[in-house]
Amino acid sequence: MKATMFLSTTSLSSLIAAALLMGSVGAGSAAEPAVADPDAKVDYSGTISVLTKFGLQQLSPFFTDAAKQYEKLHPGVKVELIQESDDSVKGKTKALVASNSLPDVYFTWTGSWGENFVRGKRAVDLTPVIGPDTEWGKTLAPAAVSAFQYGGKLYGIPLYLDAKFMGYNKSLFKKAGVAEPKTFEDLLSACAALKKSGVTPVSFGNKEGWPGVHYAGQLLAYNVPQATLEKDFVPATAEYTDPGYVASLKQFKQIVDECSDGSGTNGASYASALQQFSNGKSAMYYQEIIEFDQATADGALKREDFGFFKLPVPKDAKGDVKAIEGAPEGYMINTASKNIPLAIDFMRFVTSAENGKVLSAPPYGQPSATVGGYSADSMNPAVVDGLKVIADSSYLMPWLDTANPPRVAAAWLSGLQALVGGSMTPDEVMERVKEAAASSK
């Protein structure tokens, strides 16, 4: 250990104190609810700040280019971008909230994450401008817009749709004499055959904890009725007693033990698992549709060898077997913004059909939530097919770690790591989740 450290705990505690100090100053002028005015005249001057989740090198040009084009259209406007990655955006957002410096436009997930901003009166009510009968609302997928509905009002601007699929390498499947699995049992048999052929059946990196949570989320949607799930996501009504929870965790453990590198996966990162799959070292990888293009970007896996399927349904599943885990991801407008009409106008520009097509096509491959915002001709065919599966799904199961309050989410994350590592049983994991839910009431 070096005597000097980049970020010491003293610095951290100072950061906490400083953030709270600034927060408490801001609390005096607590945010007031704001409703978007559809007739507001846009003042095309000044600066708007935007916090994105497009910090990755291959994604960041989308917002950079959009900002440049917008500035060109409106020379009096300057767009300042804060681009964060999927892993860092949560921490960054909280630090900005704590210091009352949230940008004019900021990224959000659906579920309890987005609800935090609504509860704190930090999100503009966009119903008058994005509702289903409005000019802008008609250009966006209705299901995506309604995913950001809280208390009957619409607060979010969906940018793209996301869902989880099992990607697979067709060549490795063929080599092992394996067909695309149709049932959960088929999947386990396929894993055994792939192992025999000398490849890792599923590359799985669970260092971050949430990759395991994503498997569990899809299995929960299959095994636990939707109404029970939604009741359990709310701290006041959460019980987590449905037997489908334990059944799901047992199935997840089976996948880990029979298809992946087992307990060691807790030491591998999500990104390294993706790389393993891209390099043709593993046959399957559970990934988001927005990662389809990354999987075939520059590795050994060619686009024509890439296939995907929904995680197969286990036998006797009691939940919604047509559900898929996923959710749109989008942006909110800060109530404290000095130029709300301009911020809204910028997002209208970003979600235009033209920009949607850019976003949906490689190298971004993020299926736009804008109606007509993608063209099958310019997109990866797998993404186009994935969108059809999403459209046919009966329920979009939200990500467990954003649907639940933070303490329950943390219990899922650490509990599933313990399950993968073998130090906890499914029943013990559920006990931990129940305790966390009880303390979050």
Partner 1 sequence: MTVTTQKGDAIKTGLARPDRSQWDRLGPLSAILSFRWILVAFVLILWFVYYPIIDNFVVSTKNQDIFTGETSFVGLDNYRRLQGDPVVWTAIVNNTLYAVISVVFQVFGAFVLAALIEGLSEERWRRFWRAVYFVPSAISITVTGLLFYFIYQPDIGLLDSALTHIGLSDWSRAWLGEEQTAIYAIIAMSQWQGFGYSTLLFAIAIQKIPRELYDAAIMDGAGIWRRLWNITFPLTREMTGLMVIVTITGAFQVFNEVMVMTGGGPNNSSQVLGTWLYQQGFIENDFGYGAAIASVIFVITLMTGFAQLWYTKRRRVEL
Residues contributing to the site for partner 1 (CB under 8 A): 1-3, 5-10, 12-14, 16-21, 23-24, 26-27, 30, 90-91, 94-95, 97-98, 116-117, 119-122, 206-209, 261, 263-269, 272, 406-407, 410, 414-415, 417-418, 420-421, 423-424
For residue 154, the cross-strand partners are 149
CB of 126 vs partner 1, minimal distance in Å? 18
* Beta pairing partners, 200: 282
Q: Which residue number, 38 or 421, has a Cβ lying nearer to partner 1?
A: 421
Shortest distance in whole angstroms from residue 406 CB to partner 1: 4
Task: Name the residue nearer to partner 1 (CB basis): 170 or 250.
Answer: 250
Dist. CA 423–CA 71, nearest whole Å: 55
Cβ proximity to partner 1, 61 vs 262, nearer residue: 262
At closest approach, how far in Å is the CB of 26 from partner 1?
7
Classify strands 200-202 and 324-325 as parallel, antiparallel or unpaired: unpaired
The nearer residue to partner 1, 209 or 367, going by C-beta atoms, is 209
- Taking the complex as a whole, the smallest distance from the CB of residue 199 to partner 1 amounts, in Å, to 14
Q: Which residue has the tokens 């401008």?
A: 129
Which of 95, 73, 93 minimizes the C-alpha distance to 83? 93
State the nearest-atom distance from the C-beta of 7 to partner 1, in Å: 6
First-residue to last-residue Cα distance in the chain: 41
Name the residue nearer to partner 1 (CB basis): 98 or 130: 98
Omega prior to 363 cis, within 30 of 0? yes
Q: Long-range contacts of range 230-235, CB-CB < 8 Å, 24 or more positions apart?
A: 232/437, 233/111, 233/112, 233/398, 233/403, 233/404, 235/405, 235/408, 235/437, 235/440, 235/441
| Nearest approach, Cβ of residue 113 and partner 1 (Å) | 10
Q: In sequence order, what are the residues at sequence separation of 6 or more whose Cβ sits closer than 8 angstroms to the Cβ of residue 73?
A: 349
Cα distance between residue 389 and residue 180, in whole Å: 16
Q: Which is nearer to partner 1, 187 or 411 (CB)?
A: 411
Q: Are 328 and 144 in contact (CB under 8 A)?
A: yes
